[in-house]
A and B are shown apart, each in its own frame.
Chain A
Amino acid sequence: MSGALAIDVSELTKSFGARKVVDKFSIQVPKGQVWGFLGPNGSGKTTTIRMLCGLLLPDSGSGTCLGYDIRKQAALIKRNVGYMTQKFSFYEDLSIRENLDFVARVYEMDDRVRAVDQAIERLGLVERQQQLAGTLSGGWKQRLALAACILHRPQLLLLDEPTAGVDPQARRDFWDEIHQLAAQGLTVLVSTHYMDEAERCDRIVYLAYGTVLARGTVGEVIGASTLNTWIVTGEDVRALAGELQGRPGVDQVSVFGVTLHVSGTDAGALERAIEPYRARAGFAWKKSSPSLEDVFIHLMAPFRARLTG
């Protein structure tokens, strides 16, 4: 069983002081898949990833990562996992080559020089290998970090918001590379805030305030939602949004340029609520399945109510 699973943990719990950051978190990730980790800031994504790679010891719960016990075999896990931190955490005052060389030395790689050469070549940074890492742009820093994380040929890659603040082209290149690595058998767990990135994952897990709210393929997560959505297209949807907001049956209204997403859990109530507006000229109404984002916002609603109420 565990031979086919890269990550197999159950009921991981971690508190910092009185605050429970991760509460009974369980996950089984098969080898060679790309899993997305979503959730608002402070939902426990980083803490969970840190527990998986042995940086933090869970208060309770148990499990294995690559077949190694996360409590007792942290050293073995660290050898076989590549962990890319949220913030660029290589040395800005070291050159590209020196950073990679440092990593190769720490992992005591036998073919250190060749591995570093290859990594630099793959990055396409042969000309700039003596450049200090601190002078690289955000996109390049992130590519360097990825190269350093996979230098020791790990079996599992844990990426903590790797593409935050990176331009779309660089993000796309980055994801292409992730899928290439997965095709070679690497398992990837990546946390992100971007919906388009979530849609590129085999499975997604939605975490909020330490608990898993939804999991599965994108289709499954959307399908499991009780949300009904109408998409309105028109010139002045903003004014319409203001009118719809707060009407009984309408749970959330969001504007996306010239389109409007109007959603509610009760399909009948939603239809009754929008009925008076459907005849209005200049707007086209279409019943649709909610977007991933609509679903996530909806999932968060009870928590928001709890926080404000």
Chain B
Amino acid sequence: MFGISLSRIGAVFLKELIQMRRDRLTFGMIIGIPIIQLILFGYAINSDPKHLPTAINVQDPSVYSRTLVRALENSGYFRVTHVINGEREGAALLASGSVAFVVTVPPEFSRALARGERPQVLIEADASDPAAAANAVGAVAQLPATVFNRELSGGLSSLRPTPAPFEVVVHRRYNPEGISAYNVVPGLIGVILTMTMVMITALAVTREVERGTMENLLAMPLQPFEVMAGKILPYIVMGYIQVTVVLIAARVLFGVPMLGSYFDLSIALALFIAANLSVGFTISTVASNQLQAMQMTFFFFLPSILLSGFMFPFRGMPEWAQWIGTVLPNTHFMRIVRGVMLKGSHLHDMLADVWPLIAFMLFAMAVALLRYRRTLD
């Protein structure tokens, strides 16, 4: 009888805007969460930590041991915080977590070196966090080949290690310095949007049910689609504001480059936001109060953050986890954002990730609308 009315959608839209403005907490969350998460993840999460505290236990002070320590420091991974004497002290420092490494140069090191006895330098690493230690240990492995080249000259040159039969060359592409923020910040866009978009829509609709205002909405000549559109539109705008905040902060705070086009990015954004809002809307049709809506949001949010490749490398996850990750929109969105920002890729280069995103969005929207219709009765 009555078609879709823009002015009715506008009425809901306007009401939502006023309520959003009044609800300081939600409003603060919308702007605050991106900034807080960006700073936390950007600064705090570093999968390649450097300047790790190190204790050195030099039993043979000599030019060799001094060179070795300097070389370790120059690698960037080690920062000498303790100079100790004795194994026990080193063990205690490691156990208490005061240092991440203990480097021991044994007595008679320089004499043994000169005699060609290939003496050993012991590095004890706190490997309880393997990721933190791995790169540092890797850097140490390179040292013996080169570190004493200068000292082992003249008559000692025969002690120079023979060149390795082959060399491993590691190229870190797209992020040559290995700066975690480059990887984390684009991924954060997906995480922040998943969290706020799903939660805020779920809460906004559940709130109407909880406060009893939904009955009134339904008694007025508003169609389900009009309510859904009017409620979702302000949050789409919010989503774009959040992304703008993150992008500006990423540029200013971390110098994350933007190699691709903003147009490609905003298309991917639109798909992703719509997908998440539909999930939120679906949650609101199931949840009977805001607490439940919140809990269900986390049910969706946790796999989105853990299995999407944001927290852990996607290819490193067990196969079943990869399957779950493949279904989640965040997985594909994150790849697209990283592609656009760090590699300068275009959307048509990444169709393999665009299609799943579209498919998920359509599915979630259909479920949301179907569920909403049913709750009328």
Inter-chain contact A103/B2, CB cutoff 8 Å: no
B164 CB–A CB distance under 8 Å? no
A92 CB–B CB distance under 8 Å? yes
CA distance A73 to B221 in the complex (A): 11
CA distance A56 to B216 in the complex (A): 13
Contacting residues, chain A, for B8 (C-beta < 8 A): 105-106, 108
| A88-B212, A90-B213, A91-B213 known; A53-B18 Cβ under 8 A | no
A107 CB–B CB distance under 8 Å? yes
Inter-chain contact A105/B11, CB cutoff 8 Å: yes
Q: What mask results when residues 38 to 77 of chain A are scored 1 for a CB within 8 Å of chain B, else 0?
A: 0000000000000001111100000000000000010110
B15 CB–A CB distance under 8 Å? yes
| A75-B221, A106-B222 known; A89-B212 Cβ under 8 A | yes
| A78-B219, A83-B219, A93-B23 known; A108-B1 Cβ under 8 A | no
- Which residue in A57, A91, A106, A132 is a CB contact (below 8 Å) of B220? A106
Inter-chain contact A56/B377, CB cutoff 8 Å: yes
Contacting residues, chain B, for A93 (C-beta < 8 A): 19, 22-23
Q: Quick one: closest A residue to B10, CB to CB?
A: A105
Contacting residues, chain A, for B153 (C-beta < 8 A): none
Contacting residues, chain B, for A107 (C-beta < 8 A): 220-221
A172 CB–B CB distance under 8 Å? no
B218 CB–A CB distance under 8 Å? yes
Query: What are 20 A-to-B residue pairs whose CB atoms are below 8 Å?
Result: A53-B219, A55-B215, A55-B219, A75-B221, A78-B220, A89-B213, A90-B213, A91-B213, A94-B15, A94-B18, A98-B15, A98-B18, A102-B11, A105-B10, A105-B14, A106-B8, A106-B12, A106-B222, A108-B5, A108-B8
Inter-chain contact B215/A73, CB cutoff 8 Å: no
A87 CB–B CB distance under 8 Å? yes
Interface of B is mostly: helix
In residues 172-220 of chain B, which contact A (Cβ within 8 Å)?
A: 211-216, 218-220
Inter-chain contact A87/B212, CB cutoff 8 Å: yes
Contacting residues, chain A, for B215 (C-beta < 8 A): 55, 85, 89
A79 CB–B CB distance under 8 Å? yes
B7 CB–A CB distance under 8 Å? yes
Q: A-side interface residues toward B, CB under 8 Å?
A: 53-57, 73, 75-76, 78-79, 81, 83, 85, 87-94, 98, 102-103, 105-108, 132
Contacting residues, chain A, for B213 (C-beta < 8 A): 89-91
| A106-B221, A107-B221 known; A75-B216 Cβ under 8 A | no
CA distance A46 to B236 in the complex (A): 37
| A57-B377, A79-B221, A105-B7 known; A91-B15 Cβ under 8 A | yes
Inter-chain contact A94/B19, CB cutoff 8 Å: yes
CA distance A79 to B211 in the complex (A): 23
Interface size on B, residues (CB 8 A): 27
Q: How far is the CB of B223 from chain A (nearest CB, A)?
A: 8
16 additional A-B pairs beyond A55-B219, A92-B211, A106-B222, beta carbons within 8 Å, are A55-B218, A75-B1, A75-B221, A78-B221, A85-B216, A88-B212, A91-B15, A91-B213, A93-B22, A93-B23, A94-B19, A102-B14, A105-B11, A108-B5, A108-B7, A108-B8
Contacting residues, chain B, for A76 (C-beta < 8 A): 1
Q: B-side interface residues toward A, CB under 8 Å?
A: 1-2, 5, 7-8, 10-12, 14-15, 18-19, 22-23, 211-216, 218-222, 376-377
Q: How far is the CB of B193 from chain A (nearest CB, A)?
A: 25
Contacting residues, chain B, for A132 (C-beta < 8 A): 22
Inter-chain contact A85/B10, CB cutoff 8 Å: no
Q: Quick one: closest B residue to A103, CB to CB?
A: B220
CA distance A180 to B184 in the complex (A): 67
Which of A87, A90, A94, A106 gathers most chain B CB within 10 Å? A106
Contacting residues, chain B, for A78 (C-beta < 8 A): 219-221
Contacting residues, chain B, for A57 (C-beta < 8 A): 377
Q: How far is the CB of A104 from chain B (nearest CB, A)?
A: 8
Inter-chain contact B219/A85, CB cutoff 8 Å: yes
CA distance A76 to B5 in the complex (A): 15
CA distance A93 to B213 in the complex (A): 12
CA distance A90 to B14 in the complex (A): 15
The 6 closest A-B pairs by CB, nearest first: A105-B11, A89-B216, A87-B212, A83-B219, A78-B221, A89-B212
Q: How far is the CB of A19 from chain B (nearest CB, A)?
A: 15
CA distance A75 to B5 in the complex (A): 13
Contacting residues, chain B, for A75 (C-beta < 8 A): 1-2, 221
CA distance A103 to B7 in the complex (A): 12
Q: How far is the CB of B312 from chain A (nearest CB, A)?
A: 41
Q: How far is the CB of A207 from chain B (nearest CB, A)?
A: 20
Contacting residues, chain A, for B10 (C-beta < 8 A): 105
CA distance A55 to B375 in the complex (A): 10
Q: How far is the CB of B69 from chain A (nearest CB, A)?
A: 64
Q: How far is the CB of B26 from chain A (nearest CB, A)?
A: 11
Q: How far is the CB of B267 from chain A (nearest CB, A)?
A: 32
| A57-B377, A93-B23 known; A102-B218 Cβ under 8 A | no
Q: How far is the CB of A141 from chain B (nearest CB, A)?
A: 12
Contacting residues, chain B, for A92 (C-beta < 8 A): 211
Q: How far is the CB of A189 from chain B (nearest CB, A)?
A: 14
CA distance A91 to B23 in the complex (A): 12
Q: Quick one: closest B residue to A54, CB to CB?
A: B219
Q: Quick one: closest A residue to B13, CB to CB?
A: A105
CA distance A103 to B219 in the complex (A): 11
Inter-chain contact B19/A91, CB cutoff 8 Å: yes
Q: How far is the CB of A98 from chain B (nearest CB, A)?
A: 6
CA distance A132 to B18 in the complex (A): 12
CA distance A75 to B215 in the complex (A): 15
Contacting residues, chain A, for B22 (C-beta < 8 A): 93-94, 132
Inter-chain contact A90/B216, CB cutoff 8 Å: yes
CA distance A53 to B216 in the complex (A): 11
Contacting residues, chain A, for B19 (C-beta < 8 A): 91, 93-94
CA distance A53 to B221 in the complex (A): 11
Inter-chain contact B11/A106, CB cutoff 8 Å: yes
Q: How far is the CB of B352 from chain A (nearest CB, A)?
A: 44
CA distance A89 to B210 in the complex (A): 10
Q: How far is the CB of A149 from chain B (nearest CB, A)?
A: 9
